[in-house]
Amino acid sequence: MSVQFSSAQFGGEFKPNYDESKVPEFEVPNPLKSFRKRKIKNVRQWEKIRRPELLDFFTHNVYGKIPGELKIESWEVVEQSNNALNGKARRKQVDLIFSKNGHRLFFNILIYLPKNVEKAPVFLGYNFYGNHTVTNDVHVRISEAWARNNPSFGIIHNQLTEQSRGVRENRWQLEKILDAGYGLATIFYCEVDPDKDDFSNGIHPLLYTDGQQRPAYNEWGAIAAWTWGLSRAMDYFEQDDEVDENKVIVFGHSRLGKTALWAGATDQRFAAVISNNSGCGGAALSKRRFGETVARINRSFPHWFCRNFMIFNQNEESLPVDQHELIALIAPRPVYVASAKEDLWADPRGEFLSAYYASPVYNLYEKEGIPSKEMPDVNQPVQNTVAYHIRTGKHDVTEFDWEQYILWADKELFNK
Ligand code: GTR
């Protein structure tokens, strides 16, 4: 299929809308009515009819399909210690290695596990600037993969450096996580696919057909590539006796929150999903066109979604789905959507409404979702199987966010 795009579809719209009164009128697609207008009345119909068709739509029109299978060829524990962080934790750095079509790829998972837990539940999440940024631990290796420049972190030639060790400590709250009895596993996302509009690198070429140079219109963009990496991390956890593979909570912030949601939707082995400030193409409803829109995101980041998604540039009304149905695909597993008050670009209200409109699917499973369409007050979380909070402050991950995630995981995964 060939799809033509007019320049207006890429560029016509400029000022983001931040005015609630200018949100267009739109109908929220009913997650419990199939594309052929059949009413979905129970879990069986949801799983047999509706879930597959929604998953199929998001796969071919939003994130793109992963064109084949690729298993871990081998892994190597490149470093480990039973006495990390002053004796608080065990640490492992594990390379997962893949090869196909004459290409080779490896990525490293940094894993911290609490010492007093035999098989630990873990939070799994990608980081933006390398594993060594999540902690000041001097033993964490510095990735040699391409990185986005960030001079304030000492990243100038797309190479990570010692200067950024620990700079994202506040976003990960490692000690808090360990003290609560959870492990943390993190991966530098650019090791799986560099975050740039270039499909010659990262994981994509390993699954190209002969002569293919970039994914087809319905094939994987970078977000789907990153979800591929999370699923391979899950494959590894299934082999690691120290990790409880039935209690892996996939977490992500912003573009990596979009990734966490899609990972949770496509891989049902993830026990729970946390979307922190994921915004457009993540938790936020696209049809509201508040803050970042489909056209804006496809123009700024043409490599994130599949190319078919561009059909909906400035044309959100023609989408037969919206992002609440992405969240519904995670049901009945727990999902947490979090916003920040000042993060209008990500449309906090649109993120909330997605969680709300996904809830009827959770109710089919007799799980509690978001009971009211009224947005909760700032810093007043609603924590059911579908959970939501909006906190004070900007686009970020904070201590407050992690405190909520841990409380909620304790309740949802351990009935604490
Ligand atoms: C922004 C993008 C958002 C969000 C964010 C991030 O520039 O417009 O959708 O993903 O980047 O990932 O930090």
Q: Quick one: which H or E segment has residue 95?
A: strand 89-100
**123 phi and psi, to 5 degrees?**
-90, 130
CA 303 from centre of chain: 16
Residue tagged active-site, from 254, 286, 339, 359: 254
Beta bridge partners of 387: 336, 383
The answer to whether residue 285 sits within a structural domain is yes
Please give the distance, rounded to the nearest whole angstrom, from the Cα atom of residue 254 to the centre of ligand 1: 6
Is 175 within the bounds of a domain?
Answer: yes
Domain that holds residue 339: 74-414
| pLDDT for the residue numbered 2 | 43
Which pLDDT belongs to residue 234?
98
Is 254 a catalytic site residue? yes
**Would you state the pLDDT for residue 10?**
46
Counting from 1 in the atom list of ligand 1, the atom nearest the Cα of 300 is: 8
The model's pLDDT over 197-232, given as tens digits with 9 standing for 90+, comes to: 999 999 999 999 999 999 999 999 999 999 999 999
* Contact in structure between 256 and 128 (CB atoms under 8 Å): yes
CATH number of the domain to which 298 belongs? 3.40.50.1820
Is the C-beta atom of 254 inside 6 A of ligand 1?
A: yes
CB half-sphere exposure, 217, CA atoms < 13 A: 10
Q: Identify the pLDDT of residue 56.
A: 98
16 inside domain: no
Do residues 267 and 329 lie in contact, with contact meaning Cβ atoms separated by under 8 Å?
Answer: no
Q: Is the link from the previous residue into 332 a cis peptide, with omega within 30 of 0?
A: yes
Task: Tell me how far apart the alpha carbons of residues 187 and 182 are, in angstroms, rounded to a whole number.
Answer: 17
Angstrom distance (rounded) from CA 274 to CA 254: 11
Query: What distance in Å separates the CA atoms of residue 152 and residue 294, rounded to the nearest whole number?
Result: 30
pLDDT, tens digit, 9 for 90 and up, residues 297-348: 999 999 999 999 999 999 999 999 999 999 999 999 999 999 999 999 999 9
Q: How many CB atoms lie within 10 A of CB 237?
A: 23
Tell how far the Cα of 255 is from the centroid of ligand 1, in angstroms. 5
Give me the number of domains the chain comprises: 1
Residue 253 lies in a domain: yes
139 is catalytic: no
334 Cβ inside 6 Å of ligand 1? no
pLDDT tens profile 39-53:
999 999 999 999 999
- Asked, for residue 24, whether it belongs to a domain, the answer is no
- Ligand 1 centroid – CA 82 distance (Å): 37
Quickly tell me which residue has 């409380």 as its tokens.
407
Q: CB neighbours (10 Å) of residue 82?
A: 11
Alpha helix (H) residue ranges in 205-311: 222-237, 255-266, 294-300
Probe residue for ligand 1, chosen from 168, 197, 226, 254 as the CB with the greatest number of ligand atoms within 8 Å: 254
- Does any ligand 1 atom lie closer than 6 A to the CB of residue 255? yes
Structural domain includes residue 26:
no
Q: At what angle do helices 255-266 and 222-237 cross, to 10 degrees?
A: 60
- Residue 35 within a domain: no
Residue 318 falls within a domain, yes or no? Answer: yes
Low-confidence ranges of the chain (pLDDT < 50): 1-2, 4, 7, 9-11
